[in-house]
A and B are shown apart, each in its own frame.
Chain A
């Protein structure tokens, strides 16, 4: 149980375009989903916390107008990288928490974004 999927797994786009990444909890309902960014050999950097039906809470230094998050249902959250630039190239990972505890996070397989 507790499976989280992400789509696409890999995307290459031109600078200036927007990219949408989907995160789905397949066998449980996730009131809260998290979006992380990870650079090579670095730890997970929390970008935002997404609660179903409300606005996402962004971490300090993360541009909310650039990284649009929508949590439309208890099983789906999306991250849209708007007007992507090469410095946005990274590994984006979502996670979801079943129940009320943030400690128990189940991660998706990640999306590798490359902006040319």
Chain B
């Protein structure tokens, strides 16, 4: 079993839909959770950074962490075609540990 599991998709939704992207993990030592967005042939861009259970909101994006279930989510409200990208989750045990990345979920938002 991989430390971080993420469904590669693709996930196709209509414009305006609420998108839910998820990752599960097995390492209970993970305390920091990140979501990155990667456009085709570009480097990943940090979207959200959380370090505790609960929700964190930033504009149309909400990151949710459930440590008891070892499950994290990224919600995108009012999705736009420009949100079409691959979304990678990443998590780490602490600042001195290199994060482990999921394989990414490909999201397609069609007009």
Contacts and interface: CB of A to CB of B under 8 A. Distances in A.
Interface of A: 4, 6, 34, 41-44, 46, 49, 91, 93, 95, 100-110, 112
A111 to B, nearest CB: 10
B60 interface: no
Interface of B: 6, 8, 32, 34, 36, 41-46, 49, 88, 92, 94-99, 101-104, 106
Contact of B98 (A4, A6, A49, A110): A49
Contacts of B42: 109-110
A107 B98 contact: no
Contacts of B104: 41, 43
Given A41-B106, A103-B49, A110 B41 contact: yes
Contacts of B49: 103-104
Given A103-B32, A103-B92, A44 B98 contact: no
A7 B98 CA distance: 24
Given A41-B106, A43-B88, A102-B96, A4 B101 contact: no
A105 B46 CA distance: 8
A42 B99 contact: no
